[in-house]
Amino acid sequence: MSSTTYQIEKPVRSDFDEWSKLFHDYIAFYNSKIEEDQYIKTFDRIIEGKNGLQALVVRQVRDNEKTMVGIAHFFPEQTPWSEKQILLLNGKHMYSRNAMTVSWREHSDNLDLFIDPSVRGAGLGRKLTQAVADVGKEMGCFRLQWVTKHDNTTARKLYDTLGESQFIQYRMNLQ
């Protein structure tokens, strides 16, 4: 009888194909699209650490076989409220069609955390969010912040146990 375990770690260059599949699934979940070359650019930024963009992945380990089953993208951001940074677990600035980070037009800034549906319910979303929070603590960030769609009720059940907000998000398109 084989046992299944899970590992959370940083992705490496050879993870692109597995990461890309999960990220495609995540983008499709939100009925969004990004250009195919943006997947390569985003992964390169993660691996090279450009603009502070980081990621963690969840690997399922069974019979010495490892399969990526989860991803989370995050980056630190300055705030005028503190000298410490906020760690953003979302895609707000990641997929801009031009170099301006405020050009977020066609994509939402949802939580960039995705667990393969085949392994949901095993507590991996909570573990992955906590692992990102641990990275934020190591970086000296004072808060982990994220958003999700209002109708993502399954995920919100988890997120409501992890954090809270008294704010409503507004967006003004600039292009």
Q: How many domains does the chain have?
A: 1
Residue 171 lies in a domain: no
Q: How confident is the model at residue 111 (pLDDT cuts 50, 70, 90)?
A: low
* Burial class of residue 166 in the structure, from the number of CB atoms within 10 Å of its CB (0-12 exposed, 13-18 middle, 19+ buried): exposed
Domain with 61, as residue range(s), is: 4-162
Q: Give the range among 37-41, 75-79, 108-112, 166-170 with minimum mean pLDDT.
A: 108-112
Q: How confident is the model at residue 107 (pLDDT cuts 50, 70, 90)?
A: very low
Reported as a single tens digit per residue, the pLDDT across 84-104 is 988 888 644 333 333 333 223
Residue 35 lies in a domain: yes
Residue 167 lies in a domain: no
Question: Where do we find the tokens 């573990």?
Answer: 127
Residue 136 lies in a domain: yes
Q: What is the mean pLDDT of the chain?
A: 83
- In whole angstroms, give the CA distance from residue 81 to residue 67: 41
Residue 105 lies in a domain: yes
**Range 20-48 average pLDDT:** 93
Residue 168 lies in a domain: no
- CATH number of the CATH domain containing 56: 3.40.630.30
Which pTM was predicted?
0.82
